[in-house]
Structure 1
Amino acid sequence: MSFTQAMAVYLPHLVSAPLLPLALLAIAVLALSTHSAADTTFQERQMQRQKEESGESVALTKVHAIGFGFMASLGLLAMWLWSNVLVYMSLFTFGLGSFVSIQQSMPNIMKRLGLGRGNSWHHNGVAGLLVLSWFWNRNSSHAWIFQDILGGFTISLMLKVLKASSMSSPTLLLLTAFIYDVFFVFVTPYLTSSGESIMEAAATGAALTVKETIPMLFRIPSFRPNGGEAMLGFGDVVLPGILVTFLRECDARLEEDQSLSSAILIGMDSATTRRSTALLLAGSTGENGRRRWSYYLTAVLGYAVGLEMTFVAMMWSNQGQPALLYLVPFTVVPVVLLASKRHELSLLWNGWGGLDGGESEDDDGDDEKGPGEENEKGKVLVI
């Protein structure tokens, strides 16, 4: 089948329910959650460090990334073997996580609506009402509405809690999840007596004998008489979202570094520094004075393409697909290529590390940082 023929067959499905609404939902949740979770100012980064020290937030490491595959595998096997018991634990966990995430999001939502920040009674009331509405209607035909709303808030909270300080950790996490996803979708049918995929059976609740469903996924019905729905696990948004959040922070840091370094050089009176200043300003704005393309948008657009490729593969094969098989390369590879072209891959891969507030070896201790400012020598080293 040629590309033109394939598009003629699959395009009507890609731009209609349930695939188009599911794609728009996943992309919107990814973009909004990562935009909100990113710490783009010096004050926000300081608060993030305090949260990590107090245990309110988790700094993702390579150990976490490698351990994810093992822990996720155990959890999936347990859900497959004891689904009738663990489904109730998943309902409780989802409801509690949704309540906390809505509660924490309410002050900003009310502020944006011009209603002030409200108080704890307002926040708890709205959160409790939404969670109870989902729980009461969880087995009805319109349960997906509440589940998708709560899922968006839950993912937003998870991305605020799970943060990365370099590109290496979330990339390793995605590679581990890539292998995990492919194994449990494509390999496990050859290992089970029924020939079923453990991932699909656990996600769809095929092994359940009680009238409940696993709530950890987005659901969009087909709105057709013969029924059916499209589903996407929360992990297919959260795991790429950790990398996308870090990339948004990178864009902000690089812009800060360029601006601060330019300001330093502008204060030096020589032809050499003036030429260096022009180069720095060109690097921050791109060619023809235009603002350069961001890593954040590169990753979001790559995620969107990867999601559409997942749907195409699903229709072509007529079976469920491991979304991360397509999401990981389309999200990671464009960013790596762009960073390599700009000679910034090493910086992104290792992060800023000790440059935050640290002293260089030739620092005589005379330089002081004012409130809300970062060490200027460290900034110059980044460029």
Structure 2
Amino acid sequence: MAAAAAAAAAAAALARLAAAFLLLAAQVACEYGMVHVVSETGGPRGRDYCVLYNPQWAHLPHDLSKASLLQVRDWTSSVLCSPADLPPKGFSNQIPLVARGNCTFYEKVRLAQGSGARGLLIVSKEALVPPGGNKTQYEEIGIPVALLSYRDMLDIFQTFGQAVRAALHAPKEPMLDYNMVIIFLMAVGTVALGGYWAGSRDVRKRYMKHKRDDGPEKQEDEAVDVTPVMICVFVVMCCSMLVLLYFFYDQLVYVIIGIFCLASSTGLYSCLSPLVQRLPFCKCRVPDNSLPYFHKRPQVRTLLLALLCAAVSVVWGIFRNEDQWAWILQDALGIAFCLYTLKTIRLPTFKACTLLLMVLFIYDVFFVFITPFLTKSGNSIMVEVATGPSDSATHEKLPMVLKVPRLNASPLALCDRPFSLLGFGDILVPGLLVAYCHRFDIQVQSSRVYFVACTIAYGIGLLVTFMALALMQRGQPALLYLVPCTLITSCALALWRRELGVFWTGSGFAKDLPQSPWAPAPTDGPQQPHADPDAAPAPVPGRQTPGEDAVPTPPPVEQTPEQSAPEEKLGADAPPQEPERLAAPPGPSA
């Protein structure tokens, strides 16, 4: 009996907690809407402005044609907290504008409704908050109440004059905006092109690494292999910078903008330079001189290209807040930056790929879903920084995102999120895995099956991200969906092809200099391998050892690139005139 009584008491307590939670949720329920303003004197064309309203006071019509166009009464000199604040003749069939403060929303709207108002707009100089109340107050009030920003109120009267009419409405939100298609194509295209370019360039550099060329044509940057220590340092830096941006956004945002201008101009030059080098004209060089860098006599067309890339970056930096067109430059520079990064940064093994993706997976989920419970405002640190704090004095936005304006008539386009965003990290992190898959494809001659599968998995993960965004109507950590899709697909494919061992360790790649530990075989005897506990005995010339095609091996060190076959030809499919290879032990590869 005691246990039953305790269980009943616990159930009652849970019920009360649930009721309290539902009541709290009801108190802060809010939606974005629009107030359509026109001039009574037939001036400029009507315009929509953002409002934040609580549908529990009164619902707004979804269709503008069903909303009443009422006269707006400027009563912002009053806070409307007592009957003495009402005009002598009331607000008959009007929508009054009153100042926020000194009393509750309920007191304001009750006085407005009692004096004949058909709606109430509360002007706020601070951030817009949900106009809340309780259940009894909601049942008593029958007119809509909404918050309008002070800046929008000034714009209304400056544009349309003092004699204006307004209609309150709230269009239905579409599940997905059409701009998601543009973001999808840009993201998947960048990942596919960057992964393909990085893999092809890396293999080509392996072939030509031992050729010394210090001439002016050799301007490519060396790729950087990422180590586990570098991954840990990188993640710590990301966390630190994100927290610093959250607390010191207005000071650090200009630092990020400057870094983006420099890095994106470099990336744009790196992407366009191979195309310019193929042009059949303007190959003249700078005259002999002793200036830094110019003493190498670079081609004039490369200097012009560098000036063009710097000019594009500077133009974006100056006009970055022009919402009509600056986003096009930002996306172009951002894509170039991502391609340059994918070409320069290299993950040497699938183990390194897994470590990087899993650590950033945890990082992304933590800063989107966990930090709202740790901040005073209850907002996600990641979303707050990516979209820009609402109380920012600079109103600047971080440029490290692809952004496309909303293409439908939505209140979100005016209020909360006028652009749809995708961070560079959601492109670069999976893109490094795609690049690794392409390099592995070339080395083991798998007809780019890993590259294609990982790219398709990235596209599917991005579609899942968009679906989650539409269902939850809140910012999503894209890596939450991209990391499992790409990692599981790559791992499952390697397991199915029985190449998981070499795929995990990257042992399918030929080693960097020295190219091979094997000495060239004499014509009258077998090769003498370097001491290696895992190496198999060398085959007798003319005899093929079972399992020879299991693990490809590199060519002898003395061979020149012109004499030896490319490394991607190593294996059982190599032409018969290729030098003898060391046979692998019988059985499938690890």
TM range (shorter): 0.7 to 0.9
Give the residue type in structure 2 aligned to 1:89: V
Q: Cα RMSD between the aligned structures?
A: 3.0
Q: Any idea what the Cα deviations from partners look like across 1:128-165, whole Å, max 9, x if unmatched?
A: 22112211220011211010000011111111221011
Partners of 2:202 and 2:257 lie apart in 1 by: 36
**Aligned pair partner of 1:252 in 420, 442, 451:** 442
Partners of 1:17 and 1:113 lie apart in 2 by: 38
Partners of 1:158 and 1:42 lie apart in 2 by: 17
**Which secondary structure does the structure 2 equivalent of 1:38 belong to?**
helix
Deviates more, 1:300-309 or 1:125-134: 125-134
Partners of 1:57 and 1:353 lie apart in 2 by: 19
Q: Any idea what the Cα deviations from partners look like across 1:73-112, whole Å, max 9, x if unmatched?
A: 1110011111111100001000000111122222212256
Q: How does 1:177-256 map to 2 (within 5 A)?
A: 177-206=360-389, 208-226=392-410, 227=413, 228-255=418-445
Task: State the structure with more CA Rg.
Answer: 2
Task: Give 1:55 shift.
Answer: 8.8
1:68–1:177 CA contact under 8 A, matched in 2: no
Identity %: 31
Counting strand residues as a fraction of each chain, which structure ranks higher?
2
**Aligned pair partner of 1:175 in 354, 358, 377:** 358
Q: 1:114 to 1:191 in 2, by over 3 A?
A: farther
* Residues 1:60 and 2:226 aligned together: yes
Q: How does 1:20-99 map to 2 (within 5 A)?
A: 20-39=181-200, 42-45=203-206, 56-99=222-265
- Structure 1 unaligned regions, length at least 5: 1-11, 256-283, 285-291
In structure 2, what is the equivalent of residue 311 of structure 1? 466
Partners of 2:460 and 2:207 lie apart in 1 by: 35
**Aligned pair partner of 2:320 in 138, 158, 164:** 138
Counting helix residues as a fraction of each chain, which structure ranks higher?
1
Give the residue type in structure 1 aligned to 2:194: S
2:460–2:485 CA contact under 8 A, matched in 1: yes
TM-score of the two chains, using structure 2 as the length reference = 0.52
Task: Give 1:172 shift.
Answer: 0.7
In structure 2, what is the equivalent of residue 352 of structure 1? 507
Q: 1:58 to 1:208 in 2, by over 3 A?
A: farther
- Structure 2 unaligned regions, length at least 5: 1-173, 212-219, 284-298, 520-525, 531-555, 571-579
**Which secondary structure does the structure 2 equivalent of 1:230 belong to?**
strand
In structure 2, what is the equivalent of residue 364 of structure 1? 528
Give the residue type in structure 2 aligned to 1:125: L
Task: Give 1:293 shift.
Answer: 6.1
Q: 1:33 to 1:114 in 2, by over 3 A?
A: farther
**Which secondary structure does the structure 1 equivalent of 2:395 belong to?**
coil
**Which secondary structure does the structure 1 equivalent of 2:397 belong to?**
coil
Q: 1:221 to 1:165 in 2, by over 3 A?
A: same
In structure 2, what is the equivalent of residue 273 of structure 1? none
* Residues 1:298 and 2:453 aligned together: yes
* Residues 1:19 and 2:180 aligned together: yes
In structure 2, what is the equivalent of residue 263 of structure 1? none
**Which secondary structure does the structure 2 equivalent of 1:220 belong to?**
strand
1:355–1:379 CA contact under 8 A, matched in 2: no
Give the residue type in structure 2 aligned to 1:370: Q
Larger relative CO (CA 8 A, sep 6+): 1 or 2? 1
Q: Any idea what the Cα deviations from partners look like across 1:98-127, whole Å, max 9, x if unmatched?
A: 111122222212256766776222211220
Aligned pairs, number: 334
* Residues 1:149 and 2:332 aligned together: yes
* Residues 1:161 and 2:344 aligned together: yes
